[in-house]
Structure formats: C-alpha cells, structure tokens
C-alpha cells in the first residue's frame, strides 16, 4: 500500500505541476497569444510537423529548463501517440514530406516522427507504441556508438546493429546522425567529410538499406550562411536527399529540404501544448531561437 506523502512533498509536487503547466513562458505564449491569433486567420498554410524525440525514458535528462528537456517518459509518449491516433493523424516519411515541399502540395493531418541518438529505449519503449498504431518513424544513428555489442552514449544504452536490422525489417527508417556526434561547424572540412560520409556508408553496409536523411547534431548554426551553404553541398555530394535540424517550427512549402525544421517534444508537453505544436502555434519560437543565436555569436 502506498504511504501518504508528507506535507512538504505535496506542496513540492503541486508547485512543480503549476510551474509545468502555467509558468512556462513558451507554453503561455503559445496557448494564449499565438494559437488564438492563428485560429483567427482565414487562409491557413498547410504545415507538416516533424516531431523531434530523443530518449523515451523516465528522468529529466539533466535539463534545468523544460525547453531543453530531451527525455519523454514512456507514459507521456504513449499519450502523445494516442493523441495523434485519436485526431486521425497518419505518419509519413521524410521522402514523402520532401515531395510535398518540392511540389507545394500538402498532406492533410500528416506528421513525421523522428528520434535522435539511437538510444535502446526506442526499441524497448517507443517501438511497441508505434506498432500499436501502425505509425512510421525515422531514427538517426551516431554510428560510432552503435555496435554489435551494447555501447553507451550520454550515459544511456544505445541500439545494437542486430536491433537496428530487426527494426529495419519492421519498416523503421534509419538516417545518419554523424559518427561521433560533434558540433560540425567547429570541425575541419576533412572531419566534416568523414562524419557525413562514413556514417552513411556504415549504416548502408550494416543494414543493407539506402540512407537518404541526415540529422545535424547540436544547435544548428543557421546564422552562419557560409557554413550552411558548404554543408548543404557536402550532403548533396554524399548522396543525401534530405535532412533535419534543431531549428524550431513546422514545415511549409519552400523550405530547405536539407535543414527541415522540427518540433522538440518531451515530457513537459501536456496535451494542449502538444496539439498546439502540431498546428503550428509554436512556430513563433524560431524567432526567439534565431535572435538568441545571433546574440551569442556576436558577444561570445
């Protein structure tokens, strides 16, 4: 039988819930400022959300603020997938999304589900839920941490190549997340080339599938136009067809298919915020994100 919590634990729990659902500035602005404005628009653009998950596990992932949270509890993840199913969303791959972007044609109520870092908890916690609803997903692998025996990345167990091949047979798509997960804009051109080309080749050799998608690790330096131009050309030269990054937003016609925007999702996303993100009401955060990058680059 569960022991009753003392008064301090109850107060702490209530305070955390209040902070989680009310005091988050991004949540408040999304639900009470930008979502009503968006709902009032007569002509709405077709938007396709790409959801960005990392670890499906309990714990806070050493994050001190919900915006930087990179874990989603299995319970919350199951609720979010049920929300997609109940609202009649279907999942598509990045290739299908790119066709939509290139031809300015939309997929109604479609979503792309992605997972970064190749953690084992995708296999143990996410895949059973995805299979329940027949949802597709793309997993981006940092190949240096994927082995024939279990390796760890960020103190978490990663997938093995055997599990990757099993998931591939279950129609999970795999993309590159480099080899060693570096901040590429700080690497030499030779290092960049190795990280991009070798990771693609490794997955193709180990799994026997073509790798078309690339996922940029860390915060994407979108303000560095020379770097992003060079990276785009390198990705094309290596045979990639599309890619994603950490820039916040939903995908609209005309976006760069190699650096597609995504929506960060975690345990902090309650159902109202989750639905608002799907509908594009969180896209305003990109302006804040971009200005922050500019400021850091200027004053660092």
- What is the residue-level pLDDT of the chain in tens, covering all 300 positions? 334 455 555 455 444 544 454 457 899 999 999 999 888 876 677 789 999 999 999 976 555 567 778 999 999 999 999 999 999 999 999 999 998 777 766 667 899 999 999 999 999 999 999 999 999 999 999 999 999 999 999 999 999 999 999 999 999 999 999 999 999 999 999 999 999 999 999 999 999 999 999 999 999 999 999 999 999 999 999 999 999 999 999 998 888 999 999 999 999 999 999 999 999 999 999 999 999 989 888 886
In a domain, 33, yes or no: no
Cα separation, 169 vs 173, whole angstroms: 9
Cα separation, 288 vs 44, whole angstroms: 22
b/e burial code for range 145-175 (CB count within 10 A of at least 16 → b): bbeeeebebeebbbbbbebbeebbeeebbbb
In a domain, 15, yes or no: no
Cα separation, 20 vs 281, whole angstroms: 18
SS3 state at 295:
helix
Domain of 255, in residue numbers: 47-299
Q: Any bridge partners for residue 175, and if so which? A: 140
Q: Any bridge partners for residue 110, and if so which? A: 90
Q: How many CB atoms lie within 10 A of CB 65?
A: 9
What is the CB-side half-sphere exposure of residue 273 using CA atoms within 13 A?
21
In a domain, 244, yes or no: yes
**Shortest CA distance to 29 belongs to which of 250, 293, 264, 284?**
284
Amino acid 299: pLDDT: 80
In a domain, 192, yes or no: yes
Cα separation, 81 vs 169, whole angstroms: 21
In a domain, 40, yes or no: no
In a domain, 174, yes or no: yes
The CATH number assigned to the domain holding 252 equals 3.20.20.370
In a domain, 173, yes or no: yes
Q: Is there a contact between 160 and 153 (Cβ–Cβ < 8 Å)?
A: no
Q: How many CB atoms lie within 10 A of CB 201?
A: 15
Amino acid 10: pLDDT: 46
Domain count, the chain: 1
In a domain, 151, yes or no: yes
């Amino acid at each position: 039988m569960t022991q009753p919590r003392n008064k301090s634990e109850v107060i702490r729990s209530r305070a955390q819930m209040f902070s989680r659902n009310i005091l988050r500035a991004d949540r408040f602005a999304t639900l009470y400022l930008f979502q009503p404005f968006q709902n009032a628009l007569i002509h709405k653009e077709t938007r396709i959300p790409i959801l960005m998950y990392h670890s499906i596990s309990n714990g806070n992932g050493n994050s001190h603020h919900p915006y930087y949270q990179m874990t989603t509890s299995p319970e919350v993840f199951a609720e979010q997938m049920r929300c997609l199913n109940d609202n009649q969303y279907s999942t598509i791959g990045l290739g299908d999304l790119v066709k939509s972007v290139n031809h300015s044609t939309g997929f109604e109520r479609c979503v792309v589900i992605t997972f970064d870092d190749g953690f084992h908890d995708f296999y143990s916690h996410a895949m059973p839920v995805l299979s329940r609803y027949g949802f597709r997903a793309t997993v981006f692998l940092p190949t240096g941490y994927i082995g024939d025996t279990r390796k760890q990345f960020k103190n978490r167990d990663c997938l093995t190549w055997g599990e990757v091949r099993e998931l591939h047979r279950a129609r999970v798509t795999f993309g590159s997340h480099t080899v060693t997960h570096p901040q590429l804009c700080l690497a030499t051109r030779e290092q960049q080339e190795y990280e991009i080309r070798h990771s693609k080749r490794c997955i193709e050799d180990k799994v026997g599938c073509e790798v078309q998608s690339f996922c940029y690790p860390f915060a994407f330096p979108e303000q560095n136009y020379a770097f992003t131009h060079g990276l785009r050309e390198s990705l094309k030269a290596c045979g990639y067809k599309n890619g994603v990054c950490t820039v916040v937003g939903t995908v609209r016609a005309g976006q760069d298919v190699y650096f597609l925007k995504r929506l960060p999702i975690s345990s902090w996303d309650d159902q109202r915020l989750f639905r608002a993100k799907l509908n594009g009401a969180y896209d305003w955060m990109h302006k804040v994100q971009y200005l922050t990058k500019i400021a850091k680059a200027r004053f660092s």
